[in-house]
Amino acid sequence: MPEHLGAPLIEPLFKRLAVIGVGLIGSSILRVARQQNLASALVAIDSTDVVCSRARALGLADYVTTDACEGVSGADLIIICTPVGAIGTVVAQIAPHLSGGALVSDVGSVKGAVVAVAQPHLPPSVHFVPAHPVAGTEYSGPDAGFSTLFLHRWCILTPPDGTNPSAVDAMRAFWVGAGSNVEVMTPAHHDLVLAITSHVPHLIAYNIVGTAADLEEVTQSEVIKFSAGGFRDFTRIAASDPTMWRDIFLHNREAVLEMLGRFNEDLAALQRMIRWGDGQGLHDLFTRTRAIRRSIIAQGQETPAADFGRHGDLGGKDPD
């Protein structure tokens, strides 16, 4: 039952939105901002010429430039959509060129480290409301974005202590306009929540795909042929952008190591159940985990279709 973005706003929320980093997320923000009339003018900024050319060809913005300092001038909303590791440098670079009263945000998947590197550079005349839209696909680049990427997904805002509440409200209005649900929490709590709901899942997906690739008893060709047994599910998130994910692990180290420790403890217990033939223990866990998926589906965060609904795409036809 696909739903659509509602009617566009009659009055835009911002005069001039500058998006820095025009990849999957940045280009999706530009698309939804255009479609929903979230800002009067759109500026796309990317350090790479080839990305700027694509942004122009796709008509993503009114103005496209490689020069971040020029691009942010006159903007009342600036959203930094680079990998987390580049945010500090970008903020330092644009800070002197920001207009007084401007709202600066980002979309990084780590928030504590971003606040720590960005805040010292920002003049007191601008507002800083870091954000993390929990949405994405395994594809990257300006062609991969689409305007409904954020629809019904959650966007987490992590304003530092002392942020002007009206700046938080303005940022919330933007993400609601993009179709998202919005929640506010501290950067530290965000980093813990995302470590378990996103970062450790990506880590173990990357890891098992790597393990499977390195075996000598089982060929690569066998891994590929028989991947429908479960393995292929992991390859989707293990195909995500390598630079983005390197930066996430380097910048959310403590929370990731903490959650990975829990994962490892539980896996050791499970390994022991298998070694000692504890069928009841296995059955109990496998029953408990079913309920979580039901809740995720009930709350509209997952498709109820069998096998993610992908049967039709793989040379199968719809269930009869």
Q: How far is the CB of 73 from a second copy (least distance, A)?
A: 30
Cβ proximity of 203 and 260 under 8 Å: yes
68's tokens: 């971040």
Q: How many CB atoms lie within 10 A of CB 41?
A: 17
86's tokens: 């580049």
* Nearest residue (CB) to a second copy, 38 versus 75: 38
Q: How far is the CB of 193 from a second copy (least distance, A)?
A: 5
Q: How many CB atoms lie within 10 A of CB 170?
A: 18
* Nearest residue (CB) to a second copy, 11 versus 217: 217
Give the SS3 label for residue 138.
coil
* Nearest residue (CB) to a second copy, 35 versus 53: 35
Q: Which of 38, 43, 32, 35 is nearest to 14 (CA)?
A: 38
* Nearest residue (CB) to a second copy, 96 versus 319: 319
- Helical packing angle, 253-275 and 187-194, nearest 10°: 30
Cβ proximity of 213 and 223 under 8 Å: yes
* Nearest residue (CB) to a second copy, 71 versus 83: 83
* Nearest residue (CB) to a second copy, 15 versus 310: 310
Q: How far is the CB of 248 from a second copy (least distance, A)?
A: 9
- Print burial letters for 56-85: b (CB count within 10 Å at least 16), e (below 16): eebebbeebbeebeebbbebbbbbbbbbbb
d(CA 141, CA 177): 23
Q: How far is the CB of 95 from a second copy (least distance, A)?
A: 25
Give the SS3 label for residue 267.
helix
Q: How far is the CB of 31 from a second copy (least distance, A)?
A: 7
Q: How far is the CB of 87 from a second copy (least distance, A)?
A: 15
